[in-house]
Amino acid sequence: MRGPSRLDSFGSILAGLAHRLGLESKLFEARLRRQWPDIVGEPIATHTRPDQIRFKKLTIFVHNSVWLQQLTFLKPVLLQKVNAMAGEPLVTEIVLRIGEFAPDHQAPPPVVTLETVPHQPTAELLTEATLHTQGIQDQALRDHLTAVMVQTLSRPAAPFHRPRQAP
């Protein structure tokens, strides 16, 4: 008969699985991207983005040559902060590259509710949108989807343009 078993946390099970599958660096890359503003600060984070780790080299994209030059002087500090976050020396070198990228932290889209619809929708339109969303169990999601449908359907229709025929 087996003795009492020790329960492992889900995190430790995933860490062991990632180690066996060789996914530790990919998981660290994802964590690095998520925590990048906390590691380097907001001013640097808006002009940089960590890309990948290959052979213990971290590639970081920067907006332009001015930021590349500035970060060249900060490489030792960045390397220390990245490895401190990892808890072990996972990165031995930082490679800076100029590249275009979209910021990871953008402002969320505006919330659409029935109160934000520009004009009062017709009862028929509201009933139709409600019928389409009645199968959704989550009340907040159902209300939001209804508001989006009403807003979209209440817009004036764009004039129809036929494509020009080739002569």
In sign, the C-alpha dihedral spanning 28, 34, 40, 45 is positive
Q: What is the DSSP letter of 114?
A: G
Under 8 Å between Cβ of 58 and 81: no
- Give the predicted TM-score (pTM) of the model: 0.52
| CATH 3.30.300.180-classified regions of the chain | 14-98
What's the pLDDT score for residue 85? Answer: 84
The answer to whether residues 60 and 67 touch, using CB atoms and an 8 Å cutoff, is no
The pLDDT of residue 107 is: 47
Q: What is the pLDDT along the chain (167 residues), one digit of tens a residue?
A: 455 556 666 667 777 777 787 777 777 888 888 888 988 888 888 889 988 888 889 899 998 888 899 889 989 999 999 888 888 888 899 999 998 766 555 545 555 555 555 567 778 878 887 887 887 777 877 788 788 777 777 766 555 555 556 55
Check: CB of residue 98 under 8 Å from CB of residue 64.
Answer: yes
CATH topology assigned to domain 14-98 = GMP Synthetase; Chain A, domain 3 (3.30.300)
